[in-house]
Amino acid sequence: MFRLDGPLTEEPAEETFPMFAPPGTSLKELVARLGKAADDSAVKAVVILPESALLRPAQVEELRAAMAMVRSHGKEIYVYADSLMMGQYVLACGASRISIVPTGPVLVNGLHGSSLFVRGLLDKIGVKPDFLTEGAYKSAAELFMREQPSPEADEMMNWLMDSWYASFKDQIAQGRKADAGKVQGWLDSGLFTAEQARTSGLIDAVEQHPDFEAMLKERYGNDVVFEKKYGRKNQLDMDFSSPFAFFKIWGELLHGPRKNDAAKPAVGIVYVIGPIMTGKGMPSPFGGSLGAFSTTVREALEKAANDDSIKAVVLRIDSPGGSATASEIILDATRRLKAKKPFVVSMGDVAGSGGYYVACATDTIFADATTLTGSIGVLGGKLATTGMWKKIGITFKEYKRGQNAGIF
């Protein structure tokens, strides 16, 4: 039984254990656990419980691939939920059987997004946006510079929405063995009660949890075990009622991983997660990643390059980009690594701008159909606020030394 009750993180849970909240589920660990279940003769079936899981499009794709592997070994996958939203439903369609509680809604209302523009507000309050961009589709500065998107940005957003939408429809159609017209009808209707969803073919059953468990026992025997921690690595026990437990475990995390006396041959994974920045990152007490720091990533790549037990390296990217300097440092480190051993790139939900640039030294890039990537270009600028301060009666006297001291 796999309970998805929090965010699905890119980095392994042991590297991102939060100080003030329970850890999320690691995508890598979850896929590995599903793979173990596929090969384990003692595992007769798999149950997935998508509770409050926040699932991004590429994560859904990778979990669907892991679910397909389980089913290819002749094992059924059951999804049971209190309700299903769009992303959860696309994931659930990879199961053999989907059921929800009698009062649970199924909300499959397609995709909706919007682009924000604040130029009109800035004009009203006397703020002058001053940005330069290089690249027709480098549209981030349009937030400040325009009241509506440029033709290029509008084209790009429509292309992305079409691509995502087509991918979701294909995954639903494949999982539910439904034709394109039927899936389109489901998405255009969007909102279903549990019974309406069953009658329409979106799900297979409507049942309370005890009835769901009774169904499993009938199929696999009354002595069947519902293993809720299957394949999970031993983790530090955390007593969330005690503040001292936080500091004890935080101290152990800061200590870093213990070295193995005899390292076995392995594939190393180096993560580029979040905005790319120069320098060295610090662990966040709130869990997750504060960004991809060039020194931290470079040192990890150098360590992997010089470690004889590491036979190949995967650079896992989930980043919108950031500093050009930091991206160049990381790219250089990947080139040096590639000169010593096999090196490939795996992209998660986003590998944009610098997040794509750092992948360019490899010969092989793996991405999902819904991975956002590309957007190479440069932008920079500032918001000049002098007019705003004058409007509300605030003035400044400027002092400078050097002809261009006030350029920023």
pLDDT digits (tens, 9 = 90+) for 60-112: 999 999 999 999 999 999 999 999 999 999 999 999 999 999 999 999 999 99
- Residue 17 maps to which CATH number? 3.90.226.10
Q: pLDDT digit string (tens) for 293-338?
A: 999 999 999 999 999 999 999 999 999 999 998 999 999 999 999 9
Residues 338 and 285 in one domain: yes
Identify the burial level of 120 via C-beta atoms within 10 angstroms of its C-beta, where 0-12 means exposed, 13-18 middle and 19 or more buried. Answer: exposed
Q: Report d(CA 141, CA 264) in Å as an integer.
A: 48
State which residues form the domain around 310.
262-376
Q: Report d(CA 157, CA 134) in Å as an integer.
A: 19
> Among 6, 103, 90, which Cα is nearest to 54's?
6
Measured in whole angstroms, how far is the alpha carbon of residue 111 from the centre of its chain? 17
Residues 44 and 178 in one domain: yes
Q: Report d(CA 374, CA 372) in Å as an integer.
A: 7
Which residues on neighbouring strands pair with residue 206, listed in sequence order? 100
Q: Which of 163, 186, 220 is the last residue before a domain boundary?
A: 220
Residue 396 lies in a domain: no
Q: pLDDT digit string (tens) for 15-46?
A: 555 554 555 678 999 999 999 999 999 999 99
Is the distance from CB of 186 to CB of 200 less than 8 angstroms?
Answer: yes
Residue 227 lies in a domain: no
Residue 309 is predicted with a pLDDT of: 96
Residues 208 and 71 in one domain: yes
Q: Report d(CA 210, CA 312) in Å as an integer.
A: 47
365 three-class SS = strand
Residues 210 and 318 in one domain: no
Residue 393 lies in a domain: no
Residues 275 and 355 in one domain: yes
Residues 196 and 77 in one domain: yes
Residues 358 and 272 in one domain: yes
Q: Report d(CA 283, CA 15) in Å as an integer.
A: 9
- Number of separate domains in the chain: 2
